[in-house]
Chain A
Amino acid sequence: MQADKQDILNRLAQAVINMDITRANEIAAEVIRCKIDPYEAIMDGLAKGMDKVNELFENEEYFVPEILLCADAMYAGIEVLRPYLPKEGTWNKKKVVIGVVKGDTHDIGKNLVKIMLDNAGFEMHDLGRNVPYAKFIDTAGELKADLVCLSTLMTTTMDGMQVVIEDLKKAGITSSVMVGGGPISPGFAKNIGADGYAKNVAVAVKVAKSLFQDVHLPLTFKTPEFVSVRKNRGGVR
C-alpha cells in the first residue's frame, strides 16, 4: 500500500512535468479512489512536479510554453482534488497582490510568477494587467497584503513602480514590494526602494521566500481563470 501511494504521487508529479492534463486528471481520480490524503497528493505530487518544472526552467531546459502547460496540468489535478480537501482557512498563508503596472498589457511574466508563488504556498491576488497605481494601494491596504509584486516589460511604464512604492508608504501600508520584468535591473529596483528584485520566474520564488521568516504551506489552491481554456484537451508530448 505504502509503495502504491508513493508510486501514485510520483506519477502525479510526472504528469505535471510531462504537461499531461489527461494523466493529471486520471491520477488525481486514483488518489481519491485509493483514499490518499488529497492535501498530500497536492503537496507531494502536483506541487513537487511543479518544483521540478521550476528547476527545469532555471536550467533552461523548459521555457515559457512548457511552464504554462505544466501549470495547466497541475491545476487540472487540483480541480479534481479540491472537493475532497478539508474546508480550512488560509490563516497562515502570506498574502500577495500581483499585477502589471498601468500602461502595460504584457502579462505572461506576471502570470508565470503568479503560478510559481501560488505553488510555493503564497495566497495570490491577481489584479491583472494595465493596473492603475491606486488599485495596488487599495487592494494591498484592504487585504493587509504581505507582499506586492509589480511587473512590466516596457521602459515607458517602469517608473510607475516607483509611484506605487511611494504611494504605499504614504498610505502607511507596510507590505514588502518585489519588482521584475524585462527592463528592470537590480540597480533600478534598489533606487526605487523595492525590497526584492526577481531576475526571472525561477528566482522570484526564492526572493519572495527570503522576504519572510516562515512561509507556511498552502491548504487550498486557487485555479487561475486562464487555465480553463484548455481543460480536458488531452495531454501533450
Chain B
Amino acid sequence: MTYTDEMTPKERMQAILQGKEVDRLLVSPLILNFASRSLNMTVREFCTSGKNMGNANIACFKQYRHDIVYIFSTTSTLAEAMGTKIHFPEDDAPQVETPLIQTREDLQKLKPVNPEKDGRLPVYLEAVKRCVDAIGNDVFIVPVIGAPFTTSAALRGTEKFIKELYTDPELVHTLMKVTTQSVKNLIDAYVKAGGVPVTVEPVATGSMISERHFREFVLPYLKEVYSHIHSYNLPGVLHICGKTKRVIKCMAESGADILSIDNIDLLEAKELVGEKVCLMGNVSPADGMLKGNPEVITAMVRECIAKASDNPKGYVVATGCEVPIKTSHENMVAFLGAGRRFAQLPINLN
C-alpha cells in the first residue's frame, strides 16, 4: 500500500506554522549534496554552479517530493566567502584547506560578507532563485547557513579556535561578532531571493565543547541570529549534530523554534526541551540511510515517530545529519514511504 499526500509540502508547512490542521507530520530527510544524484552530477559540478545546484534540487524534489528543499554544500561556505581557502574534492563535500586567520594580524582582513559578490554565495543565491521559480509554489526553499561559531572555526582552524576559548577569548569574540554580521547579511540576501534560511552550528556540539563555553561563546550570537530571522516572521531552525545532550537546553534558549538533532535519544530530548521547541531528527545517516536496507530504515523511522510524534511543540521526521551521497534510491524511497505512512495524523503505528 502506498501513501499519497493530500497537501503540498508548502501547504503542510504553512498550516503547521499557523497551528492549523494537517494531514501528517513533516518528513524532511536532510537531502543536501545527495541532490546532485538526481542529475547524475559530481558534488563538485553540483556545488560550484548555481544553475547545477538549482536544477539538481528541482529534479530531486520532483523525484521524491520531500517536505523541505535545502540548498547546501558545506558548513564552511560562509567562511569561504570571508576568505578561508576551500578544497573541492571531485565527488564529496568541500572541505577547509587553509583558514583565513593564520595570525592575530590577519584579523584586520575580517569583514562581513557581501552575499552578491563573495565566494560561492552567488552560486547559492542563484540556486535558491531557480528553485523558488520552478518549485517554490509547492515547497519552501531552505538555504543552510553555517552559524557564527562554526564559521569562525573555519576562519581560524577548528583546533586553534577551540583552544582560544581559553587562551584568547578576545579573539574568539572578535571573530564571532564579524561572523554574526555575515550570517545576518546572508539571511537578508536569502530572504530577498525567496528562501527561508536556517542555520547549522555543528562545531558547538556537545562532543566538542562544554555547556559553559556554549553559554559564553555561542549562545549570545545565536540569539542575535534568531531574533534577526524572527524579524522576518520566519521560524528559526538550529541544527547541531554529534552528541547534544549536554547542550540541548542552551540550544532551546537560543530562540530557535525547531532543533534538528542527531546523537541523542528523542525521548530524552523531548523530556529536556519538548515544552519549548519543535524537535527534528534523527534517523542515523550511516547505520540507516547508507548501510541499512529499506526494512531497517522503515523500523528506524517508525521508532522515531513513536518516540517524538507527541512532542508538545511538534516533531519533524528527519535524518540526524546529512543524507550520505552514496545512499541508495531504494533507501531514500523507504525513508519517505515510512514517513508518509507512520506520520499520518492521527498517529497510528500499525
Contact = CB atoms under 8 A, between A and B. Distances in A.
Bind each other: yes
Interface of A: 19, 60, 62-66, 68-69, 72, 103-108, 111, 154-158, 182-185, 187-188, 226, 229-230, 233, 236
Interface string B192-216: 0000000000000001111001000
A111 to B, nearest CB: 7
Contacts of B286: 155, 158, 183-185, 188
A226 B162 CA distance: 14
B95 interface: yes
A108 B290 CA distance: 24
A226 B159 contact: yes
Given A188-B291, A229-B160, A155 B324 contact: yes
B159 A103 contact: no
Contact of B162 (A64, A103, A229): A64
In order of increasing CB-CB distance, the 3 nearest A-B pairs are: A183-B286, A155-B324, A65-B162
Contacts of B210: 62-63, 66
A213 to B, nearest CB: 32
Given A63-B208, A111-B159, A155 B290 contact: yes
A157 B291 CA distance: 13
A63 B209 contact: yes
A65 B209 contact: yes
A192 B159 CA distance: 30
Interface stretch (B115-123, B131-139, B163-171): B163-171
Given A187-B287, A188-B286, A188-B287, A69 B163 contact: yes
A236 B326 contact: no
Contacts of A63: 208-210, 213
Nearest to B323: A155
Contacts of A108: 158-159, 208
Contact of A64 (B89, B93, B167, B208): B208
Given A19-B166, A158-B286, A103 B89 contact: yes
Chain B: number of interface residues, binned into ranges: 20 to 34
Contacts of A154: 92-93
A157 B92 CA distance: 9
A233 B167 contact: yes
Majority secondary structure of chain A interface residues (helix, strand, loop or mixed): loop
B264 to A, nearest CB: 13
A158 B286 CA distance: 9
B71 interface: no
Interface centre among B89, B209, B322 (most CB of A within 10 A): B89
Given A105-B96, A157-B92, A185-B286, 20 more contacts: A62-B210, A63-B208, A64-B207, A65-B163, A65-B213, A66-B210, A69-B167, A104-B95, A106-B95, A108-B159, A155-B322, A155-B324, A155-B326, A156-B93, A156-B325, A182-B242, A185-B284, A188-B291, A230-B167, A236-B166
Choose among A19, A72, A182, A233 the residue with the greatest number of B CB atoms under 10 Å from its CB. Answer: A182
B246 interface: yes
B245 to A, nearest CB: 9
Contacts of B92: 103, 154, 156-157
A70 B163 CA distance: 10
Contacts of B167: 69, 230, 233, 236
Contacts of A72: 163
Contacts of B162: 64-65, 68
Contacts of B255: none
B186 to A, nearest CB: 24
A20 B246 CA distance: 26
B285 interface: yes
A138 B325 CA distance: 30
Contact of B95 (A68, A105, A158): A105
A222 to B, nearest CB: 18
B218 to A, nearest CB: 13
Contacts of B95: 104-106
A84 B286 CA distance: 49
Given A63-B208, A105-B95, A226-B159, A155 B285 contact: yes
Contacts of B87: 105
A132 B179 CA distance: 34
B285 A183 contact: yes
A65 B322 CA distance: 26
A230 B160 CA distance: 9
A68 B208 contact: no
